[in-house]
Amino acid sequence: MKSKIITPLFIFITSAIFIVAASRLFPHIPNFTPLAAMALFGGVYLSDKRLAFIIPLLALFISDTALQLLFGWGFHNTMIYVYIGFILTSLIGMLVKRNVSIQSVAAGSIISSILFFIITNFGVWAASGFQMGIAGLETTYLLGVPFFSPTLAGDLFFNSILFGAFYLAQIKFPVLIKVK
């Protein structure tokens, strides 16, 4: 017998991802966003691997589209690098799934932040036409350093919210506990 996809667990996880994605539309510190948290959380708790990529990517795309329509800045020429970092964070979530703990989620969050920094800053350099060779790449990474702290803080904050809320919800609503 094939298991149902639309379960209370799926609805909770998906809703949580879309709710934090919507938080991108409110004023916030630049780079203090739920991006990595959405992908990490989906990678950990969406049991269908395809959906672990699709649901967070869809939430990201919808929030990017809303940002573009409302403010004119949701999409830019380095979006592919943002999405690559996002996909890799979902993969990290699938690794964290093996042993979900405060430590593994924090480690996954930190690794995701570092990976995102490396990939997106490389993307900025690549979009510049690889100006000034390796020196240009080094400069791009140095100029990106001030943006890393709010990225890391946002990732840790939103992972705390998502994973903490889910933990508390499982206590209150045992139907959310996945039977292995």
User: Mean pLDDT over residues 6-23, rounded?
Assistant: 96
Distance CA 36, CA 6 (A): 24
Confidence of residue 180 (pLDDT cuts 50, 70, 90): low
Residue 74 has what pLDDT? 85
Residue 3 predicted with pLDDT over 80: no
The model's pLDDT over 29-38, given as tens digits with 9 standing for 90+, comes to 999 999 999 9
For the segment 38-44, the average pLDDT, to the nearest whole number, is: 98
Contact 44, 100 (CB under 8 A): yes
Average pLDDT over residues 35-64: 97
Distance, in Å, from the CA atom of 151 to the CA atom of 116, rounded to the nearest integer, reads 9
63 pLDDT more than 50: yes
**Average pLDDT of 159-171?**
97
CA atoms of 33 and 48, how far apart (whole Å):
25
Asked if 60 and 33 touch (Cβ cutoff 8 Å), the reply is no
Residue 84 has pLDDT above 80, yes or no: yes
Mean pLDDT for the chain overall: 95
Confidence tier at 1 by pLDDT (50, 70, 90): very low
- Contact yes or no for 122/137 (Cβ under 8 A): yes
